[in-house]
Amino acid sequence: MKKNESYEEFVKGIWRDNPVFAQVLGMCPMLAVTNSAINAIAMGMASMFVLVGSSFLVSIFRNVIPKQVRISCFIIIIATFVTIADYTLLALVPKVHKELGAFIPLIVANCLILGRQEAFASRYPTRLAVMDALGMAGGFLLALFSLGAVREILGDGALFGVRIFSENFEPWIVMILPPGGFLTLGVILLFFNWFKYKKDEFLADVAEAERSGN
């Protein structure tokens, strides 16, 4: 039972309540760093580290922190984790860090992370909070990766820097430019909507069939 519950929390973040596709949160890093798959993954991992870490802490101290200053405390906790991630990346993979540039510190301002603290971690026990954070961050990573992959494949003819088309492939440069980010995400959301719409239609058909069957 218990296990099921935490599994639920995990799964909902990945698909049904996907932070990007369904809730439209965390758009800024989403678009800014997804011009290549590797950057997207690095950003996703960093966000995951921050989200899980801060959810864990916030959940532990949820009864200690006074309501009035909870936001400030959340921000301090998040900023600490972000700084840690920032320096770790700088030390370990300076190249990626340079590409991501100022967007690592900007994880602090990702509404997804603060939103999860406020909406979930500060209300639920640690275990659920961590599962939720993992799910949400996983969903975020998934979204980042899919966007990054699409943009890199079309914009550069490569994935993770490996060419996948013939030498003569003409790259779609717009894809790695800012407009490409907006357009690609818009089109992906469109597909997401279409998918949901088809599913709803299907469910409605099933319900209709059941009703008429009775």
Partner 1 sequence: MKERRDPDLLLFHAPLLRQGMTTPKAMRDVIIALMPATGASLWFFGLSAVLVIGSSIAGAVLAEWLFADRASRGESLRDATGILTGLLLGLTLPPGLPMWMAFLGGFVGIALGKVIWGGLGHNLFNPALLGRAFLLATFPIAMTTWVPAGPEGGFFSAYAGNLALPFMQVQVDGVSSATPLGLFKFEQEATPLTGLMFGRIGGSLGETSGLLLLLGGIYLWLRRDLDWRIPVSILGTVIVFSAILGFFDAERFPTPMFSLFSGGLMLGAIYMATDPVTSPVTPRGAWFFGIGTGLLVMLIRVFGGLPEGVMYAILLMNAATPLIDRYTQPRVFGHGVEKKS
Partner 2 sequence: MSSDTLKQAPAPSSLRLVMTLAIAGLVSGIAIIGIYESTLPTITANKARELREAVFKVLPGVSRMQALVYRDGRIQAVTEPEKDEPVVYGGYDEAGDFVGYAMPGAGPGFQDTIALLYGYMPRERQVVGMEILESRETPGLGDKIYKDAEFVAEFSALSVEPEIVTVKKGTGAQPNEVDAITGATISAKAVVRIINETHVAWAEQLPAPGTEPPLAGESTDDGATP
Partner 3 sequence: MENLPWIFISALLVNNFVLTYFLGLCPFLGVSNSLETSARLGLATTFVMLVTAVCAWVLNTYVLIHAPYLRLICFIVVIASTVQFIEMLIKKLSPALFRAMGIFLPLITTNCAILGLAIFATNRGYGFVEGIVYALGAGIGFTLALVLLAGLREESELSNIPKLIQGTAMNLIIAGVLSMAFMGFAGLFSSS
Q: Of residues 11, 45, 65, 159, which one binds partner 2 by CB under 8 A?
A: 65
Residue 48 in the binding site for partner 1 (CB under 8 A): no
| Residues from 116 through 155 that contact partner 3 (CB under 8 A) | none
Angle of helix 70-92 relative to helix 37-60, nearest 10 degrees, comes to 140
Q: Which does 165 bind (CB under 5 to 8 A by kind): partner 1, partner 2, partner 3, none?
A: partner 1
Residue 105 in the binding site for partner 3 (CB under 8 A): yes
Q: Which does 168 bind (CB under 5 to 8 A by kind): partner 1, partner 2, partner 3, none?
A: partner 1
Radius of gyration, alpha carbons of the chain: 19
Q: Put residue 160 in one of left, alpha, beta given phi > 0 → left and psi -120 to 50 → alpha.
A: left
CA 65 – CA 84 distance, rounded (Å):
22
CA 174 – CA 184 distance, rounded (Å):
10
Site of interaction with partner 3 (CB under 8 A): 24-25, 27-32, 71-72, 75-76, 79-80, 82-83, 86-87, 102, 105-106, 108-111, 114, 174, 177-183, 185-187, 189-190, 193-194, 197
Residues at the interface with partner 2 (CB under 8 A): 64-69, 72-73, 76-77, 79-80, 83-84, 87-88, 90-92, 94, 123, 155, 171, 173, 176-177
